[in-house]
Structure 1
Amino acid sequence: MSIKRILAPAAAIAALLACTGAALAVEAAAKSAVNVRTGPGKSFSVVDQLTAGEVVTIKECAPSNFCFVEHSGPDGWVSANYLVPVAEEPAGDVEEGSGSNPDCSFGFNIGPDGPSLGINCGDGPVVPPGPGPAPEPEPADEPGACFYTGSNFDGQKLCVGVGIRNALNATFNDKISSVELFGGARARLCDGANLTGYCRNVNSDTAPLVPQINNKTSSLTVYVGVPPLPPPPAPPEVPVTFSTGPIDLMQTYTANLDNGAIGGAGTDIWYEAETDVEKYITPQNGARIAVGDGTNRGYAGCVDEDFSTDRVPLEDIPPGTYVCAKTDQGRISQFRVNGFAGTTLKLGYTTWAN
């Protein structure tokens, strides 16, 4: 073999190496459908999807096992696990003395250290573009999840690690439609706040979500292993008495349920008498009352009553009736009609500080 034929591949390699910094490009094909992302990892947004067999041009590869590709759609990063080299057509004979060798070409290889781009001459091995440091081991993905308002991993995106979101903001509340998981994480989505109501576990990338939870999520948790137990319900609020005692309320007088005083500023109820027989208990100064079922409901029962500023006929609240009230100061109160002494209405009341 002449010295010229020996030197031809070396010259071709040198020429290719001289341009690898800017022009290194290799064709590859997608083994199956795969997402195209904005960055080299699963945590980046999806911008497109390759179809099975689609040929792309690889421009570079990252230690994360993702390669940047150009194709007919938006360019981006694709997992190298879904790419295979494209078979090349055989090259013609090389003229002795030429300055390059058409048998030399760029190549794409997936080895134990991840994807790589190199130069292949004839039947020889792939020659790497140049020496470089050994790649660092690919770090394991931290457990986490990305939640999308779009039905195919698109739209607004919320990416979180392991933890609980008891209430989603307006951007994502009742708007999550697809979920992407990584690092062995799982997710639990609930249609009520604080992981209440209907809940659904998501164990793999899902697009779109099932109708029962699609666009209905108000709280969520990301976890590894088994779903966490829901938080215990909040203990009932313990009422604290602010003021209590008897009230002797004469006709046409007013009473303050915040302190039991008769008349003066800040009164809450008025013993109104239009005639000798037509009499009412009338709320005053923004206070409100609720007769309800007339039973002793205490703080827990009165706090949820439907209060009104309407006056109540005295004939509707005979002795033994309990009436809930919300004072002009916003406190919950309850008074009992104990009876009458002449025209004086005898009451017993309790107002709570909560």
Structure 2
Amino acid sequence: MKILRALKAFSTALAALAISAVSAAAVEAVATTWLNVRSGPGGGFGVVTTLAPNTVVNVSECQDNGWCYVEHAGPSGWVSSTYLAAPAASGGGASADPNCKLSLTLGPSGPTLSLVCGDGSVTVPLPGTPPPPPPPPPVGDQACFYQDPNYGGQEFCYGTGTLNSLNATFNNKISSVKLFGAARARLCDNTNLGGPCFAVTSDTALLTAAINDKASSLAVHTGIWLDVVPLPLPPVLPLLPVTHSTGAIDLHQTFSANLDNGSIGSAGADIWYQAVTAAEKYITPRNGAQLALGDGSNRGYAGCRVASFSGAQISLNSIPVGTYVCVKTSEGRTSQFRLNGYVGTTMKLGYTTWTN
């Protein structure tokens, strides 16, 4: 009966929150401590502001790593959901069990509300939130192959068996390998497992130069494969890059931004928000800077450093909200920005530029 009374008292608060979620596509939450707001979804991005305890924010997006994009009366950005909680219940009435409380859970499938009473809980999904996906099936013996170092870029996974030739997407383009279960991999320079072949017996963030970006066929197996030249130990990866400049940029239509220092309209600008017509708009490199869209994922320093750059402009139709773009700045530094959203025609960007 306590749970039923608590649910009845909870319905009014839930209805109000549901209206807010539908109309604003966001969920209210409060900071539980002094909380840094960063320009991107991770601790490696720069701090744009700090929230005081009990500051109310709107959560509009959450990623699998537990970082959420929040909006408030100040610079918006990304915070760790560990330090967010549901706002305190408001309004009169004490019919609910005092041992019951509202709990906000922020997960990769979207926010959910829980009414927690004593040792049990009743979970109520927000309106419009799809049910969480079923857990993935257990991974068996397989290997996953990646185009970029550190398991970045496009990937494919393969169970035990032989691929006598790789397609154009991965032929001579594999740079890192992850193994699952008891799987081992054999990478060969030529088709049909011909030419020099090398064994991968553990996760390898960067293949040796003898086979990096050179494999044309492969096999995935368990146990020992005789007559295979073992790969040398993976090289020691360099220390984490040093951040040269990072922050948030509000880039107005027809304005330019300098990603070496975060300024707007300076002589050394790297990107230009070009508007040809109301429907035809571009990000255009300036002053010798170059762009690399790739698959729009977060490639960080390691991925952007080896990206395929071009001086061509990129249509905004190819950059939905949440897309990352690598940049080689006019001063030769490696940089990356994320399109966080729009306010009118103004783009809200979060960027980081590293010291090469």
Structure number, greater radius of gyration? 1
TM range (shorter): 0.3 to 0.5
Normalization by structure 2: what TM-score? 0.37
Question: Relative contact order, CA 8 A, sep 6+: which one is greater?
Answer: 2
